């Protein structure tokens, strides 16, 4: 058992949003001037991607590789019809309902499992099952038990993400510094105070790592589940569009999700993370 937060099998999904890496020994090579060059290189690679896309779209037919103007048109069209807001809203609702359930259930359950060997033994097989069962199988099971609807989408997302979050919270609970608990008890802290002032704050880094993985999994699985059994949401729109060979819409929904993910990452997750780990900053 390592002390580092679990990355789990979802590391790939979450890796794209991984937080700032600790400065490497070589990082002091990058003086401000070099940093400007790095920015320029990144911008260049973005321009190259868009350029290649543009060029490709002139070679291939519109239904295979639509160009940027076509995709933009698809976007403005969806917005004016109200479809963009409605479906993005539905997907966000599915996703955040699932994430909220995972966090609210996972935090207390993870702490209990982390503190009790009995609870650990009793849940072990369940966790291994949740972690290893393929999402497609979960979707198939949900189709049989719940049917093709929103509840199924949320249920499959919860089932896919819960194990990763739990494993992080369990590990955080185990990594707690016994010396701090003893200190609190020596000063007469009640169990409730130990929980609030020692245990919960020390789980925070693991909670954040788990949340990040959960969000990565949830973005992927929600869309996948909508695609296969939804009646609304971005995933459902993609499945409809591809059946009509409306490739421009597929690109448009894909790019919309990319932008939203980045907005959420930098606009919400990182500020919350910075606030919760403010005591680790030097200054």
Residues that bind another protein (CB under 8 A): 179-180, 182-190, 193, 197-198, 201, 204, 279-280, 282-283
CB of 199 to another protein, least distance (A): 11
**Would you say 73 or 185 has its CB closer to another protein?**
185
**Would you say 5 or 233 has its CB closer to another protein?**
5
Question: What is the rounded distance in angstroms from the CA atom of residue 90 to the CA atom of residue 121?
Answer: 38
Q: Which of 121, 221, 115, 202 is nearest to 164 (CA)?
A: 221
CB of 204 to another protein, least distance (A): 8
CB of 64 to another protein, least distance (A): 54
Cα–Cα distances in Å, from 256 out to 75, 101, 124, 252, 278?
Answer: 9, 25, 38, 6, 32
**Would you say 116 or 277 has its CB closer to another protein?**
277
**Would you say 34 or 196 has its CB closer to another protein?**
196
- The Cβ of residue 78 has, within 10 Å, a number of other Cβ atoms equal to 20
Tokens of 79: 């917005």
Question: What is the rounded distance in angstroms from the CA atom of residue 103 to the CA atom of residue 171?
Answer: 15
Are 160 and 138 in contact by the 8 Å Cβ rule? The answer is yes
**Would you say 7 or 202 has its CB closer to another protein?**
202
CB of 122 to another protein, least distance (A): 25
CB of 24 to another protein, least distance (A): 21
Q: Which of 12, 4, 14, 1 is nearest to 214 (CA)?
A: 14
**Would you say 25 or 283 has its CB closer to another protein?**
283
CB of 186 to another protein, least distance (A): 4
- The Cβ of residue 136 has, within 10 Å, a number of other Cβ atoms equal to 11
**Would you say 26 or 278 has its CB closer to another protein?**
278
Question: What is the rounded distance in angstroms from the CA atom of residue 164 to the CA atom of residue 160?
Answer: 8
Tokens of 169: 């919270």
CB of 279 to another protein, least distance (A): 4
**Would you say 58 or 281 has its CB closer to another protein?**
281
- The Cβ of residue 190 has, within 10 Å, a number of other Cβ atoms equal to 10
- HSE (side-chain half, CA atoms, 13 Å) at 87: 28
Q: Which of 116, 254, 97 is nearest to 174 (CA)?
A: 116
CB of 182 to another protein, least distance (A): 5
Dihedral-angle region of residue 177 (phi above 0 means left; psi in -120 to 50 means alpha; beta otherwise): beta
């Amino acid at each position: 058992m390592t002390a580092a937060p679990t990355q789990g099998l979802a590391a790939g999904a979450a890796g794209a949003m991984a937080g700032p890496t600790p400065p490497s020994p070589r990082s002091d090579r990058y003086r401000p001037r070099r940093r400007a060059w790095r920015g320029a290189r990144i911008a260049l690679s973005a321009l190259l991607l868009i350029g290649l896309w543009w060029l490709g779209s002139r070679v291939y037919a519109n239904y295979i590789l639509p160009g940027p103007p076509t995709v933009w048109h698809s976007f403005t069209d969806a917005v004016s019809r109200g479809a963009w807001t409605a479906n993005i809203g539905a997907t966000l609702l599915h996703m955040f309902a699932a994430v909220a359930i995972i966090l609210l259930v996972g935090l207390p359950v993870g702490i209990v499992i982390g503190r009790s060997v009995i609870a650990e033994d009793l849940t072990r097989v369940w966790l291994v099952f949740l972690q290893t069962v393929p999402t497609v199988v979960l979707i198939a099971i949900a189709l049989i038990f719940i049917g093709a609807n929103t509840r199924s989408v949320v249920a499959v997302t919860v089932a896919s993400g819960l194990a990763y979050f739990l494993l992080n919270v369990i590990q955080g609970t185990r990594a707690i510094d016994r010396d701090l608990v003893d200190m609190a008890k020596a000063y007469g802290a009640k169990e409730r105070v130990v929980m609030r002032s020692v245990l919960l704050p020390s789980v925070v880094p693991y909670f954040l790592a788990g949340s990040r993985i959960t969000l990565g999994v949830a973005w992927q699985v929600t869309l996948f589940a909508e695609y296969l059994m939804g009646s609304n949401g971005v995933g459902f729109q993609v499945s409809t569009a591809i059946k009509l060979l409306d490739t421009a819409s597929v690109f448009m929904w894909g790019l919309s999700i990319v932008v939203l993910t980045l907005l959420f990452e930098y606009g919400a997750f990182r500020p919350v993370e910075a606030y919760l780990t403010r005591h680790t900053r030097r200054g």
